[in-house]
């Protein structure tokens, strides 16, 4: 069952990217939005994506030309795998696909109409449990039997919602990363009731829209990436708050020791300290003698920096100062 008709519910940061990428890959794509006001906020995001994709294609054409002239491998940062493969790249064809994407894409306020023939509905609404449940309850009776429903939720588990969807066997998670045309991975995660057929269909859909599908066979908070990233960031903050060393030295140890482009405190500045603070809160309730890290100390340290307005790159200051740039 190859998906042809795609519906994205929610036209926020991620919803608009998922829908645009799907349309770029030639699929008939609808964004369902709840109000006229939402259209006014989503349309400019689409317009911006059109510009971003065109600019990215030009950049890739230039990087490829340069690397061919010099017989050098292309700098890895230059390429957006969501847009094209480097060894089979036709800039004109890609520009054309961007223009056609705008034709493949429509915005719709009527939920019944949006999903009436949907192969897949990608729920990418704000991260609020109650709002998602309300949405699923309304949506369930409107979808045809064939529709597979996926959630892009970063932190809520699909098992929380399966019973409201009217199709637990055709409900799972498909988790994208911001800037999906560059960070083209999709973590495809089953919950206990998900059927193998719908899991496989979503893996196929991920490939169809040029994502690298990462199968997650059992439900796991944090999927793959955050299941590793969060304890890693905790271990780094633990070194700092326990007075073992300072952020800069800890980052240097990681960067020099593993060849990674960024150390944990540089990553935290990008993620934002408010997000990090929210993530650590539930852990502060673990009794100290069992907790693998000094979560209370980590929480207090982040709180202090947040209170001082040092919330990360976006604020101009976090663990590092970005005001000079």
Ligand X SMILES: NC(=O)c1ccc[n+]([C@@H]2O[C@H](COP(=O)([O-])OP(=O)(O)OC[C@H]3O[C@@H](n4cnc5c(N)ncnc54)[C@H](O)[C@@H]3O)[C@@H](O)[C@H]2O)c1
Interacting residues with a second copy between 284 and 303 (CB under 8 A)? 290, 292
Interacting residues with a second copy between 64 and 83 (CB under 8 A)? 70, 72
- Exposure b/e, 228-237, CB count within 10 A at least 16 = b: eebeebbebb
For the CB of residue 179, give the shortest distance to ligand X in the complex, in Å. Answer: 9
User: Which stretch, 103-111, 170-178, 187-195, 309-317, contacts ligand X (CB under 6 A)?
Assistant: 170-178
User: Which stretch, 20-28, 150-158, 252-260, 295-303, contacts a second copy (CB under 8 A)?
Assistant: 252-260
Residue 135 in the binding site for ligand X (CB under 6 A): yes
Q: Dihedrals φ, ψ of 215, to 5°? A: -70, 130
For residue 306, the partner it binds in a second copy, ligand X, none, with Cβ less than 5 to 8 A by kind, is none
Separation CA 118–CA 7 (nearest Å) = 6
For residue 278, the partner it binds in a second copy, ligand X, none, with Cβ less than 5 to 8 A by kind, is none
Q: Is the Cα torsion angle 73, 76, 81, 83 positive or negative in sign? A: negative
Task: Show the site string, 171-200: x = touches a second copy by CB under 8 A, - = not.
Answer: ------x-----xxx-x-------------
The structure tokens 């493949």 sit at 104
Query: Is the Cβ of residue 112 or residue 286 nearer to ligand X in the bound state?
Result: 112
User: Which stretch, 30-38, 148-156, 260-268, 300-308, contacts a second copy (CB under 8 A)?
Assistant: 260-268
Interacting residues with a second copy between 227 and 246 (CB under 8 A)? 227-229, 231-232, 234-236, 238-239, 242-246
Nearby residues of 149 by Cβ (< 8 Å), 6 or more positions away: 120, 121, 123, 136, 139, 143, 165, 167, 170, 171
**Judging by DSSP bridges, how do beta strands 148-151 and 120-123 pair with one another?**
parallel
Residue 131 in the binding site for ligand X (CB under 6 A): yes
Residue 276 in contact with residue 302, Cβ under 8 Å? yes
**Judging by DSSP bridges, how do beta strands 185-189 and 171-176 pair with one another?**
antiparallel
**Judging by DSSP bridges, how do beta strands 212-216 and 185-189 pair with one another?**
parallel
The structure tokens 């240097």 sit at 252
For residue 153, the partner it binds in ligand X, a second copy, none, with Cβ less than 5 to 8 A by kind, is ligand X
Separation CA 297–CA 221 (nearest Å) = 23
Residue 299 in the binding site for ligand X (CB under 6 A): no
Residue 93 in contact with residue 57, Cβ under 8 Å? no
Residue 257 in the binding site for a second copy (CB under 8 A): yes
For the CB of residue 100, give the shortest distance to a second copy in the complex, in Å. Answer: 27
Q: Is the Cα torsion angle 64, 68, 70, 72 positive or negative in sign? A: positive
Residue 112 in the binding site for ligand X (CB under 6 A): no
Exposure on the CB side of residue 291, measured as CA atoms within 13 A:
18
Residue 205 in the binding site for a second copy (CB under 8 A): no
For residue 48, the partner it binds in a second copy, ligand X, none, with Cβ less than 5 to 8 A by kind, is none
Residue 206 in the binding site for a second copy (CB under 8 A): no
Exposure on the CB side of residue 136, measured as CA atoms within 13 A:
26
**Judging by DSSP bridges, how do beta strands 28-32 and 5-9 pair with one another?**
parallel
Task: Show the site string, 17-56: x = touches a second copy by CB under 8 A, - = not.
Answer: ----------------------------------------
How far, in Å, are 18, 52, 120, 176 from residue 186 at the CA level? Answer: 11, 21, 15, 5
What are the residues binding a second copy (CB under 8 A)?
A: 70, 72, 177, 183-185, 187, 212, 214-218, 220, 223-225, 227-229, 231-232, 234-236, 238-239, 242-246, 249-250, 252-254, 256-262, 264, 267, 290, 292
What are the residues binding ligand X (CB under 6 A)?
A: 10-15, 34, 38, 124-127, 131, 135, 152-154, 175-176, 178
């Amino acid at each position: 069952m190859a998906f042809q008709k795609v519906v994205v519910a929610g036209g926020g940061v991620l919803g608009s990217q998922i829908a645009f990428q799907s349309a770029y890959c030639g699929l008939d794509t609808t964004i369902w939005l709840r109000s006229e006001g939402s259209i006014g906020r989503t349309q400019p995001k689409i317009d911006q994506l059109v510009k971003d994709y065109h600019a990215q294609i030009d950049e890739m054409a230039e990087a490829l030309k340069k690397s061919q002239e010099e017989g050098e491998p292309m700098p890895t940062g230059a390429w957006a795998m969501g847009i094209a493969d480097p060894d089979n790249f036709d800039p004109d064809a890609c520009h054309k696909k961007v223009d056609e994407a705008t034709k493949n894409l429509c915005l719709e306020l009527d939920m019944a109409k949006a999903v009436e023939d949907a192969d897949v509905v990608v729920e990418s609404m704000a991260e609020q449990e109650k709002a998602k449940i309300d949405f699923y309850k309304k949506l369930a009776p409107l979808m045809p039997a064939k529709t597979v429903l996926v959630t892009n939720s970063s932190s809520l588990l699909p098992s929380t919602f399966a019973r409201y969807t009217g199709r637990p066997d055709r409900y799972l998670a498909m988790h994208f990363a911001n800037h999906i045309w560059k960070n083209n991975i999709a973590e495809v995660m089953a919950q206990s009731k998900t059927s193998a057929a719908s899991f496989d269909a979503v893996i196929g859909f991920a490939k169809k829209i040029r994502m690298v599908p990462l199968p997650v066979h059992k439900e796991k908070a944090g999927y793959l990436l955050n299941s590793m990233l969060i304890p890693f960031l905790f271990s780094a903050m633990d070194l700092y708050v326990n007075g073992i060393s300072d952020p800069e030295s800890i980052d240097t140890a990681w960067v020099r020791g593993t060849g990674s482009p960024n150390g944990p405190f540089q990553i935290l500045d990008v993620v934002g300290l408010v997000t990090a603070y929210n993530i650590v809160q539930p852990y502060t309730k673990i009794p100290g003698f069992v907790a693998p890290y000094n979560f209370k100390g980590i929480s207090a340290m982040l709180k202090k920096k947040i209170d001082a307005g040092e919330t990360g790159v976006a604020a101009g200051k976090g663990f590092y100062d970005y005001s000079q740039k």
